[in-house]
Amino acid sequence: MRNYRCRYMQEYALANKLDHPRNVYFREIDILPELDGWLARLFTEEQIEDTVARLVAAAEQDTGGDTEALRSARRTVKDCERKLDQYRQALDQGNDAGVIAGWIAEAEAQKLKAQAALRGNRSRPAKIAPTSIQQMLGACRETAASLRSATPDHKASVYRALGVRIVYNKETHTAEVQVDPDPSSVGISSCPRGDLNPHAL
């Protein structure tokens, strides 16, 4: 039985004033059957219209100007720049270079991700036609349906193609899932970005 572990450096948690346990474990069997079933249901004949409507709404929100996601990305860039300044000062003061190098790498990665989100939003089309979303979902349907009999390696590639993101809440012992399909992975040249409503497993 597979188990997943999320390990968080204590020094990093303290430096960023985060309450995060050193290690979080959860079993694959507690997540994947629910995840696979939910993904398959999103693209069934009975559910497809609702799925399209949610993606259309998400696309319209994304192109509606200064969205919360954009504001959050800008805040992340500024926060990362502040952290990087602090980490460089800590290096100058002779603190553990190995530990601080890890902090710097993570802050740089977060900053790059936020900057990419800002660039992606600027290049996004003003409006996405529902027919384009339906075309994308037709490809996603076949991808999601293959999960029931897929090998672990194939499942991993499907999750990547569908843009699956899972966030585990240690307080409630639940996981929330979002999907943001990668058009290049499901055979569509362009598609809206946007998430389906989080699903508590």
H/E run at residue 167: strand 165-169
pLDDT at 17: 56
Average pLDDT, the chain: 73
Q: Mean pLDDT throughout 17-30? A: 69
Whether this prediction's pTM lies above 0.95 is answered by: no
- CA 33 to chain centroid: 19
pLDDT range class, residue 130, cuts 50, 70, 90: low
Ramachandran quadrant class, 140 (left: phi over 0; alpha: psi -120 to 50; beta: rest): alpha
Nearest to 181 by CA among 128, 126, 144, 154: 144
Average pLDDT over residues 122-129: 55
Residue 68's H or E segment, with its range, is helix 68-92
Per-residue model confidence (pLDDT) at position 123: 52
pLDDT band (50, 70, 90) for residue 128: low
Q: How confident is the model at residue 194 (pLDDT cuts 50, 70, 90)?
A: very low
Q: How would residue 190 be classed by pLDDT, with cut points 50, 70 and 90?
A: very low
**How many angstroms separate the CA atoms of 160 and 18, rounded?**
28
Q: Write the pLDDT tens digit of every residue in 74-124.
A: 999 999 999 999 988 888 888 888 888 888 888 888 898 888 888 766 555
Alpha-carbon span 24 to 11, nearest angstrom? 16
189 contact partners, CB below 8 Å, separation of at least 6:
183
Q: Hunting for tokens 């992606």 — which residue is that?
A: 120
